[in-house]
């Protein structure tokens, strides 16, 4: 029996949760993500970023299964994988085209000049574009927010509440990193005032919360976390590559 046939046979069957776990699992997952967000932004060293996020991804999936979620509840429906990849690829390709097009014009290219993409060697650029962002960032965040968190809240409170909680949590997830990294961002200033950093962090939370709703739509349109994962990964990698190329172009001999 092939792996996806075994997965298909088990996706409707749920593990039996412990007493009270099914009801409390959604808030527990939310609290775990909030705690990990603090750890990730204050204590996690860069070289541990990808393995730590992969470990957290596995841990969240195991927890959701123990709490009674089926594979389909967390977006791992084997039958929906290919349609999800197709949809996510289409959305991601569209975002990549927009970002690459921005390189052609000086005013739009300068909007891409993010300090976080400056000065990397080509090997480091490829690692970030092909591993760190697709696996370390997008895979973790989509499984965590659109898969586990939204799936658990959907079982607890229904789809509307689940989408709202997931979007709010996804927006809040970006508060600390935006506040911390704001001086190096494309629209940031080198020595920002505290109030400027707070406003930037709140603005980022709103924008990423809205993006979370879009990713949620992708997830449930194909009933697969593969759709938002590929769209998210394509956008992050394309944005980084575009910023890196913008720096190269701006600093090339005239």
Query: For residue 73, is pLDDT > 90?
Result: yes
The residue among 118 and 254 whose pLDDT is bigger is 118
Confidence category of residue 82, pLDDT binned at 50, 70, 90: very high
Global pTM?
0.88
Tens digit of each residue's pLDDT (9 = 90 or more) over 129-163: 999 999 999 999 999 999 999 999 999 999 999 99
To the nearest whole percent, how much of the chain has pLDDT over 70?
A: 87
Tens digit of each residue's pLDDT (9 = 90 or more) over 6-64: 444 444 445 555 545 667 999 999 999 999 999 999 999 989 999 999 999 999 999 99
Would you say the C-alpha torsion 192, 196, 201, 206 has a positive or negative sign? negative
């Amino acid at each position: 029996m092939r792996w996806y046939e075994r997965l298909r046979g088990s996706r409707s069957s749920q593990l039996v949760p412990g007493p009270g776990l099914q009801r409390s699992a959604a808030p527990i997952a939310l609290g775990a993500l909030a705690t990990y967000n603090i750890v990730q932004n204050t204590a996690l060293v860069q070289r541990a970023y990808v393995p730590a996020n992969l470990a957290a991804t596995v841990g969240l999936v195991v927890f959701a299964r123990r709490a009674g979620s089926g594979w389909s509840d967390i977006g791992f429906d084997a039958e929906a994988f290919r349609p999800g990849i197709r949809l996510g690829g289409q959305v991601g390709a569209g975002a990549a085209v927009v970002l690459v097009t921005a390189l052609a014009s000086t005013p739009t290219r300068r909007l891409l000049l993010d300090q976080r993409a400056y000065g990397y060697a080509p090997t480091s650029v490829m690692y970030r574009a092909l591993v760190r962002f697709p696996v370390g960032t997008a895979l973790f965040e989509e499984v965590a927010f659109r898969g586990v968190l939204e799936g658990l809240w959907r079982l607890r409170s229904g789809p509307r509440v689940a989408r709202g909680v997931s979007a709010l949590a996804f927006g809040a997830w970006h508060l600390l990193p935006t506040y911390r990294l704001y001086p190096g961002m494309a629209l940031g200033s080198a020595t920002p005032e505290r109030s400027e950093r707070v406003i930037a962090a709140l603005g980022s939370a709103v924008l990423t919360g809205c993006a979370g709703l879009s990713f949620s739509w992708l997830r449930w349109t194909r009933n697969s976390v593969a759709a938002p994962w590929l769209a998210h990964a394509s956008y992050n990698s394309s944005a980084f590559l575009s910023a890196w190329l913008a720096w190269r172009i701006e600093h090339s001999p005239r």
